[in-house]
Amino acid sequence: MGDHEEKIGIIKEDFVLMWDHLEKIQENIKHYEDKIHRVFKTNEACQRLGKIPGIGAITATAITAIGDLKRFSSSRDFAAWLGLVPKHVGTGGKIQMLGISKRGDRYLRSLLVHGGRAVVSNADKKKDACSIWITNLKERAGMNKTSVAMAHKNARIIWAMLTRGDVYRAAI
């Protein structure tokens, strides 16, 4: 019995250490989330981006951290840099569209896709033009492809807004 109780005591010690470590990690996460929200609230570009459906504080601050988006000649170039455009394969005039390239910035792409997924999952509750487009596309292509399409659309909107200094205007 003594050996068994000793093992349980060691396991309890390890568990307490791991629990303390987890609490410190949670404190760090809270600290950095607060920092991100402070930057979001004080940065004018982040505030404009935050008006786009599917773009929150984390995505907006990450996008503005890239710097000047004018280095991309078009919104499609920006979306391609993020890895949100389909691959093209084909010869003899017959082009086959494949899945997204996934060659760009993985972190930003995942933020945009997750934001797109949130918009897509709530689109059937709304009746605006964008939500109707999303609902129709979701019926034809499925949830995942529609989420990526929304992420691609948001990437192009972001490029236009940041290069031209525009504000977000929802489709009518």
DSSP the chain: -HHHHHHHHHHHHHHHHHHHHHHHHHHHHHHHHHHHHHHHHH-HHHHHHTTSTT--HHHHHHHHTT--GGGSSSHHHHHHHHT-SEEEEEETTEEEEEEE---S-HHHHHHHHHHHHHHHHHGGG--SHHHHHHHHHHHHH-HHHHHHHHHHHHHHHHHHHHHHT-------
Task: Report if residue 70 sits inside a domain.
Answer: yes
Domain that holds residue 86: 43-164
Domain count, the chain: 1
Task: Report if residue 132 sits inside a domain.
Answer: yes
The predicted structure's pLDDT at residue 24: 97
Task: Report if residue 17 sits inside a domain.
Answer: no
Task: Report if residue 88 sits inside a domain.
Answer: yes
The predicted structure's pLDDT at residue 99: 62
Task: Report if residue 34 sits inside a domain.
Answer: no
Residues lower than pLDDT 70 in the chain:
1-2, 87-92, 95-103, 171-172
The predicted structure's pLDDT at residue 98: 59
The predicted structure's pLDDT at residue 4: 78
The predicted structure's pLDDT at residue 116: 94
Task: Report if residue 84 sits inside a domain.
Answer: yes
Q: What is the pTM of this model?
A: 0.80
Task: Report if residue 3 sits inside a domain.
Answer: no
Task: Report if residue 156 sits inside a domain.
Answer: yes
